[in-house]
Amino acid sequence: MTEPLLRLEELVVEFADPHRRVRAVDGVSLEIGAGDILGLVGESGSGKTTLAKTVLRLYRPHSGRILLQGRDITHLGEAALRPLRRHAQMVFQDPLSSFNPRHTIGRALAIPMRLHGVARPVPDVLADVGLPAGFADRYPHQLSGGQLQRAAIGRALSLSPALIVADEAVSKLDVSVRAQILNLLRRVHAERGVSLLFITHDLHVARFLCHRIGVMRAGRLLEIGPTAQVFASPAHEYTRTLLGTIVT
Protein backbone atom coordinates (compact mmCIF):
# COMPACT_ATOMS: atom_id res chain seq x y z
CA MET A 1 0.00 0.00 0.00
CA THR A 2 1.40 3.39 -0.94
CA GLU A 3 1.23 6.15 1.65
CA PRO A 4 -0.70 9.28 0.70
CA LEU A 5 1.34 12.45 0.47
CA LEU A 6 -0.46 13.87 3.48
CA ARG A 7 -2.63 12.19 6.05
CA LEU A 8 -4.42 13.89 8.92
CA GLU A 9 -5.83 11.68 11.64
CA GLU A 10 -8.38 13.11 14.07
CA LEU A 11 -6.57 16.43 14.13
CA VAL A 12 -7.54 18.80 16.96
CA VAL A 13 -6.11 22.32 17.26
CA GLU A 14 -7.01 24.61 20.14
CA PHE A 15 -6.18 28.18 21.02
CA ALA A 16 -6.26 29.28 24.60
CA ASP A 17 -6.55 32.82 25.83
CA PRO A 18 -7.14 33.86 29.45
CA HIS A 19 -10.92 33.81 29.00
CA ARG A 20 -11.73 30.83 26.86
CA ARG A 21 -10.48 27.98 24.79
CA VAL A 22 -11.28 27.85 21.08
CA ARG A 23 -11.25 24.48 19.35
CA ALA A 24 -10.43 25.82 15.87
CA VAL A 25 -9.97 22.37 14.29
CA ASP A 26 -12.12 19.66 15.79
CA GLY A 27 -11.24 16.10 14.83
CA VAL A 28 -10.40 16.40 11.13
CA SER A 29 -9.20 13.35 9.21
CA LEU A 30 -8.34 13.53 5.51
CA GLU A 31 -5.80 12.45 2.93
CA ILE A 32 -4.16 14.14 -0.03
CA GLY A 33 -2.57 11.87 -2.60
CA ALA A 34 0.42 12.74 -4.75
CA GLY A 35 -0.78 15.06 -7.52
CA ASP A 36 -4.16 15.69 -5.87
CA ILE A 37 -5.83 19.08 -5.67
CA LEU A 38 -8.00 19.29 -2.57
CA GLY A 39 -10.15 22.37 -2.08
CA LEU A 40 -11.15 23.41 1.41
CA VAL A 41 -14.20 25.65 1.63
CA GLY A 42 -16.22 27.00 4.52
CA GLU A 43 -17.36 30.20 6.13
CA SER A 44 -15.08 32.63 7.94
CA GLY A 45 -13.83 31.19 11.23
CA SER A 46 -14.48 27.58 10.26
CA GLY A 47 -10.82 26.67 10.83
CA LYS A 48 -9.40 26.54 7.30
CA THR A 49 -6.30 28.64 7.97
CA THR A 50 -5.66 26.95 11.29
CA LEU A 51 -5.81 23.56 9.57
CA ALA A 52 -3.43 24.75 6.83
CA LYS A 53 -0.92 26.17 9.28
CA THR A 54 -1.04 23.03 11.37
CA VAL A 55 -0.38 20.87 8.31
CA LEU A 56 2.80 22.92 7.82
CA ARG A 57 3.50 22.61 11.53
CA LEU A 58 3.40 26.35 12.06
CA TYR A 59 1.06 25.30 14.85
CA ARG A 60 1.33 22.26 17.07
CA PRO A 61 -1.89 20.26 17.30
CA HIS A 62 -3.58 19.48 20.61
CA SER A 63 -4.13 15.88 19.53
CA GLY A 64 -4.27 13.71 16.43
CA ARG A 65 -1.54 13.02 13.91
CA ILE A 66 -0.01 14.61 10.81
CA LEU A 67 1.81 12.30 8.43
CA LEU A 68 3.74 13.84 5.54
CA GLN A 69 5.03 11.29 3.03
CA GLY A 70 4.39 8.62 5.64
CA ARG A 71 6.44 10.37 8.28
CA ASP A 72 4.84 11.44 11.53
CA ILE A 73 5.62 15.16 11.89
CA THR A 74 3.05 15.84 14.62
CA HIS A 75 5.54 16.50 17.39
CA LEU A 76 8.78 17.26 15.55
CA GLY A 77 10.76 20.21 16.89
CA GLU A 78 11.92 23.13 14.77
CA ALA A 79 15.36 21.67 14.03
CA ALA A 80 13.88 18.41 12.74
CA LEU A 81 11.23 20.28 10.74
CA ARG A 82 13.64 22.62 8.98
CA PRO A 83 14.89 20.19 6.30
CA LEU A 84 11.30 19.02 5.71
CA ARG A 85 9.90 22.51 5.16
CA ARG A 86 10.84 22.56 1.50
CA HIS A 87 8.46 19.65 0.82
CA ALA A 88 5.39 21.63 1.87
CA GLN A 89 5.23 25.32 1.00
CA MET A 90 2.56 27.94 1.67
CA VAL A 91 1.22 30.77 -0.48
CA PHE A 92 -0.77 33.39 1.43
CA GLN A 93 -3.64 35.72 0.62
CA ASP A 94 -1.65 38.93 0.84
CA PRO A 95 1.57 38.59 -1.13
CA LEU A 96 2.88 42.01 -0.02
CA SER A 97 3.03 40.96 3.61
CA SER A 98 4.77 37.70 2.70
CA PHE A 99 7.77 39.57 1.23
CA ASN A 100 10.33 41.57 3.16
CA PRO A 101 9.86 45.15 1.85
CA ARG A 102 13.62 45.79 2.02
CA HIS A 103 14.63 42.77 -0.07
CA THR A 104 14.55 42.75 -3.85
CA ILE A 105 12.47 39.99 -5.44
CA GLY A 106 15.71 38.35 -6.54
CA ARG A 107 16.98 38.24 -3.00
CA ALA A 108 13.63 37.03 -1.66
CA LEU A 109 13.78 34.12 -4.09
CA ALA A 110 17.46 33.38 -3.54
CA ILE A 111 17.40 33.16 0.27
CA PRO A 112 15.14 30.08 0.68
CA MET A 113 16.92 28.32 -2.19
CA ARG A 114 20.27 28.89 -0.56
CA LEU A 115 18.90 27.70 2.77
CA HIS A 116 17.79 24.43 1.21
CA GLY A 117 20.78 23.96 -1.10
CA VAL A 118 18.86 24.56 -4.35
CA ALA A 119 21.02 25.94 -7.18
CA ARG A 120 18.36 27.11 -9.65
CA PRO A 121 19.06 30.58 -11.15
CA VAL A 122 16.61 33.30 -10.09
CA PRO A 123 15.77 34.30 -13.71
CA ASP A 124 14.67 30.71 -14.36
CA VAL A 125 12.43 30.76 -11.30
CA LEU A 126 10.88 34.02 -12.51
CA ALA A 127 10.41 32.57 -16.01
CA ASP A 128 8.62 29.54 -14.52
CA VAL A 129 5.86 31.84 -13.27
CA GLY A 130 5.76 34.15 -16.27
CA LEU A 131 7.79 37.05 -14.89
CA PRO A 132 10.64 38.80 -16.76
CA ALA A 133 14.20 38.40 -15.45
CA GLY A 134 14.41 42.16 -14.77
CA PHE A 135 11.93 41.79 -11.91
CA ALA A 136 14.75 40.35 -9.81
CA ASP A 137 15.96 43.91 -9.19
CA ARG A 138 12.57 45.27 -8.18
CA TYR A 139 11.20 45.68 -4.68
CA PRO A 140 7.87 44.14 -3.64
CA HIS A 141 5.98 47.45 -3.72
CA GLN A 142 7.01 47.88 -7.35
CA LEU A 143 4.98 44.83 -8.40
CA SER A 144 1.23 44.53 -8.85
CA GLY A 145 -0.73 42.13 -6.64
CA GLY A 146 -0.87 39.54 -9.41
CA GLN A 147 2.84 39.85 -10.22
CA LEU A 148 3.70 39.53 -6.56
CA GLN A 149 1.53 36.45 -6.19
CA ARG A 150 3.38 34.96 -9.18
CA ALA A 151 6.65 35.68 -7.38
CA ALA A 152 5.30 34.02 -4.22
CA ILE A 153 4.30 30.94 -6.23
CA GLY A 154 7.75 30.96 -7.86
CA ARG A 155 9.40 31.16 -4.46
CA ALA A 156 7.39 28.14 -3.29
CA LEU A 157 8.05 26.18 -6.49
CA SER A 158 11.78 26.87 -6.49
CA LEU A 159 12.12 24.38 -3.63
CA SER A 160 10.36 21.63 -5.65
CA PRO A 161 7.78 20.97 -2.93
CA ALA A 162 5.49 17.95 -3.02
CA LEU A 163 2.66 20.07 -1.60
CA ILE A 164 1.67 23.70 -1.94
CA VAL A 165 -0.86 25.07 0.54
CA ALA A 166 -2.57 28.12 -0.94
CA ASP A 167 -4.67 30.04 1.61
CA GLU A 168 -7.07 32.40 -0.19
CA ALA A 169 -4.23 32.99 -2.64
CA VAL A 170 -6.47 34.57 -5.28
CA SER A 171 -9.09 36.19 -3.04
CA LYS A 172 -7.68 39.70 -3.15
CA LEU A 173 -7.05 39.78 -6.89
CA ASP A 174 -9.23 41.30 -9.61
CA VAL A 175 -11.29 38.82 -11.57
CA SER A 176 -9.05 38.82 -14.65
CA VAL A 177 -5.84 38.54 -12.65
CA ARG A 178 -7.45 35.83 -10.51
CA ALA A 179 -8.08 33.78 -13.64
CA GLN A 180 -4.43 34.17 -14.68
CA ILE A 181 -3.15 32.99 -11.32
CA LEU A 182 -5.59 30.05 -11.29
CA ASN A 183 -4.36 29.07 -14.75
CA LEU A 184 -0.78 29.35 -13.54
CA LEU A 185 -1.57 27.00 -10.64
CA ARG A 186 -3.24 24.60 -13.05
CA ARG A 187 -0.25 24.66 -15.36
CA VAL A 188 2.20 24.19 -12.50
CA HIS A 189 0.17 21.24 -11.28
CA ALA A 190 0.02 19.67 -14.73
CA GLU A 191 3.72 20.17 -15.44
CA ARG A 192 5.14 19.20 -12.07
CA GLY A 193 2.50 17.03 -10.46
CA VAL A 194 2.70 19.08 -7.28
CA SER A 195 -0.25 18.53 -4.92
CA LEU A 196 -2.34 21.46 -3.82
CA LEU A 197 -4.34 22.18 -0.70
CA PHE A 198 -6.37 25.07 -1.97
CA ILE A 199 -8.36 27.14 0.52
CA THR A 200 -11.05 29.46 -0.74
CA HIS A 201 -14.37 31.06 0.10
CA ASP A 202 -15.27 30.91 -3.55
CA LEU A 203 -16.95 27.72 -4.69
CA HIS A 204 -16.61 28.70 -8.34
CA VAL A 205 -12.87 28.85 -7.89
CA ALA A 206 -12.83 25.53 -6.05
CA ARG A 207 -14.85 23.90 -8.79
CA PHE A 208 -12.51 25.21 -11.50
CA LEU A 209 -9.35 23.93 -9.89
CA CYS A 210 -10.00 21.12 -7.43
CA HIS A 211 -10.35 17.36 -7.88
CA ARG A 212 -11.95 16.98 -4.46
CA ILE A 213 -13.60 19.41 -2.08
CA GLY A 214 -13.84 19.35 1.69
CA VAL A 215 -16.40 21.49 3.47
CA MET A 216 -15.55 22.84 6.92
CA ARG A 217 -17.81 24.29 9.55
CA ALA A 218 -16.94 25.19 13.13
CA GLY A 219 -13.69 23.23 12.97
CA ARG A 220 -15.24 20.07 11.61
CA LEU A 221 -14.96 18.55 8.17
CA LEU A 222 -18.62 18.10 7.27
CA GLU A 223 -18.02 16.26 4.05
CA ILE A 224 -15.33 15.54 1.54
CA GLY A 225 -15.61 14.05 -1.92
CA PRO A 226 -14.96 14.43 -5.63
CA THR A 227 -15.84 17.96 -6.79
CA ALA A 228 -18.56 16.83 -9.18
CA GLN A 229 -20.18 14.73 -6.46
CA VAL A 230 -20.14 17.49 -3.85
CA PHE A 231 -21.75 19.85 -6.34
CA ALA A 232 -24.27 17.36 -7.73
CA SER A 233 -25.37 15.70 -4.49
CA PRO A 234 -24.05 17.41 -1.38
CA ALA A 235 -24.28 15.12 1.63
CA HIS A 236 -24.87 17.85 4.15
CA GLU A 237 -27.54 20.51 4.49
CA TYR A 238 -24.89 23.13 5.19
CA THR A 239 -23.15 22.36 1.89
CA ARG A 240 -26.45 22.82 0.08
CA THR A 241 -26.75 26.22 1.73
CA LEU A 242 -23.24 27.13 0.62
CA LEU A 243 -24.00 25.96 -2.90
CA GLY A 244 -27.25 27.89 -2.84
CA THR A 245 -25.27 31.08 -2.59
CA ILE A 246 -23.71 30.59 -6.02
CA VAL A 247 -25.38 30.90 -9.39
CA THR A 248 -24.57 28.07 -11.76
Ligand X SMILES: Nc1ncnc2c1ncn2[C@@H]1O[C@H](COP(=O)(O)OP(=O)(O)OP(=O)(O)O)[C@@H](O)[C@H]1O
Site residues for Mg ion per CB under 5 A: 48-49
Q: Does 104 bind ligand X (CB under 6 A)?
A: no
Q: Does 47 bind ligand X (CB under 6 A)?
A: yes
Q: Which 3-state string (H, E, C) describes the chain?
A: CCCCCEEEEEEEEEEECCCCEEEEEEEEEEEECCCCEEEEECCCCCCHHHHHHHHCCCCCCCEEEEEECCEECCCCCHHHHHHHHHHEEEECCCHHHHCCCCCCHHHHHHHHHHHCCCCCCHHHHHHHCCCCHHHHHCCHHHCCHHHHHHHHHHHHHCCCCCEEEEECCCCCCCHHHHHHHHHHHHHHHHHHCCEEEEECCCHHHHHHHCCEEEEEECCEEEEEEEHHHHHHCCCCHHHHHHHHCCCC
Work out how close the CB of 2 gets to Mg ion at its nearest, in angstroms, rounded to a whole number.
31
Q: Using CB distances below 5 to 8 A depending on partner kind, what does residue 176 bind out of ligand X, Mg ion, none?
A: none
Work out how close the CB of 68 gets to ligand X at its nearest, in angstroms, rounded to a whole number.
20
d(CA 123, CA 6): 31
Q: Does 89 bind ligand X (CB under 6 A)?
A: no
- Which one, 49 or 149, has the nearer CB to Mg ion? 49
* Count of residues that interact with ligand X, criterion CB under 6 A: 11
Can you tell me which of 4, 37, 50, 149 binds ligand X, judged by CB under 6 A? 50
Q: Does 44 bind ligand X (CB under 6 A)?
A: yes
Closest CA to 26 of 42, 37, 38, 39: 42
Q: Does 42 bind ligand X (CB under 6 A)?
A: yes
Can you tell me which of 30, 32, 41, 49 binds ligand X, judged by CB under 6 A? 49
- Which one, 17 or 78, has the nearer CB to ligand X? 17
Q: Does 97 bind ligand X (CB under 6 A)?
A: no
Can you tell me which of 36, 46, 147, 157 binds ligand X, judged by CB under 6 A? 46
Work out how close the CB of 197 gets to ligand X at its nearest, in angstroms, rounded to a whole number.
13
- Which one, 49 or 195, has the nearer CB to ligand X? 49
- List contacts with ligand X (CB under 6 A): 15, 22, 24, 42, 44-50
